[in-house]
Amino acid sequence: MYQPIRASRSEYVPIRNLRYHVRVWGEPSPGQVPLVMVHGWMDVSASWQFVVDALARDRYVIAPDWRGYGQTTADPVDNYWFADYLADLDFLLDHYAKDQPVDLVGHSMGGNVAMMYAGVQPARIRRLVNLEGFGSPRSRADEAPGRYAKWMAELKQFHRGEMGLAPYDSADGVARRLMKTNRRLAQDKADWLARHWAQATTRADGTTEWRIQGDPAHKIVFAQAMRVDEVLALYGAITAPVLAVEASDDSLAGWWKGRYSLDEYHERLESIAQCTVARVEDAGHMLQHDQPLAVAQLLEKFFH
């Protein structure tokens, strides 16, 4: 099994009536900028371990489990709202950084949160790295009736117990699932991640099962679409230099089947005053797992 080079510790922070779990590497020191790393959809903070280990320099790294993920348990809810992630991040920076600007890294959904947040609170971000946080296709107003209907239908499915996450009989089963989803994920890393991505629980008959540490309510579609005009306005308000990192595999083509492309994403990035695009070869959407050294080198070059 993978053996981490840099050990992390768990801290629990009161944020907006929640007990937020935050994974921390290193210690704060005078003159050092905190590095905040936020994970994506159906992921956990431990996902950053491989990149943290690959950094050439020690950093004070702060990585939360978003609400309803990992060890951050949300009050019982039946759906989530995107704006809550921005507010949670703001409270998190109040706790860990006070008035000091931070270096911010976000992956996938976390990248989208980071980009939007940097437009809302530009003075709080020194530099920003977005790993495959592409956002969503442009929506049309006439899609609203169907989207709201789908949202309500999925809420009913959730309350009927039809949107649960399947359990696994062992951590090895979780690791196999991770490797099936990501063909580049090595066995030792999958074995290590499985024990952070899922948690062992005891069934009524005394046997053990492993369940993903993610609230099934995250599977419910957002009621409100992300408006591209608002996104571009937020991008235009970003004052920090931005590094937008893509994997060599074209995730957008697989997800949106022509509704959204890298070309359109690059057009959106033109709204940012200072933005550089980089590419990681031989990597898929989970590029922080596939090529952690390449990602770490891009981060350090950009930050220093």
73-77 CB contacts, 8 Å cutoff, 24+ apart: 73/18, 73/19, 74/18, 74/215, 75/17, 75/18, 77/215, 77/217
User: How would you write the pLDDT of the chain (304 residues) with one tens digit per residue?
Assistant: 999 999 999 999 999 999 999 999 999 998 899 999 999 999 999 999 999 999 999 999 999 999 999 999 878 899 999 999 999 999 999 999 999 999 999 999 999 999 999 999 999 999 999 999 999 999 999 999 999 999 999 999 999 999 999 999 999 999 999 999 999 999 999 999 999 999 998 888 888 999 999 999 999 999 999 999 999 999 999 999 999 999 999 999 989 988 999 999 999 999 999 999 999 999 999 999 999 999 999 999 999 8
Query: C-alpha dihedral over 88, 91, 96, 99, to 10 degrees?
Result: 130
In tens, the pLDDT along 75-111 reads: 889 999 999 999 999 999 999 999 999 999 999 999 9
| Residues paired with residue 275 on neighbouring β-strands, in sequence order | 242
Question: Could you tell me the end-to-end alpha-carbon distance of the chain, in angstroms, rounded to an integer?
Answer: 32
CB 255 within 8 A of CB 289: no
In tens, the pLDDT along 41-85 reads: 999 999 999 999 999 999 999 999 999 999 998 788 999 999 999
Rounded CA-CA distance 213/199 in Å is: 7
Write down the pTM of the prediction.
0.96
Pairing of strands 8-15, 18-25: antiparallel
- Write the DSSP symbol of residue 72: B
How far from chain centre, in Å, is Cα 152?
25
Please give the domain boundaries of the chain with CATH numbers for all domains. 8-139+226-303 (3.40.50.1820)
Q: Which tokens is 186 given?
A: 């090595």
Strand positions, DSSP E, 143-272? 198-202, 208-212, 242-247
**How many of the other CB atoms lie within 10 Å of CB of 249?**
19
Q: Which tokens is 290 given?
A: 């596939």
CB 135 within 8 A of CB 112: yes
Half-sphere exposure of 101 (CA within 13 A, CB side): 14
Strand positions, DSSP E, the chain? 8-15, 18-25, 35-38, 61-64, 102-107, 125-131, 198-202, 208-212, 242-247, 275-280
The sign of the dihedral angle between the CA atoms of 9, 12, 13, 18 is positive
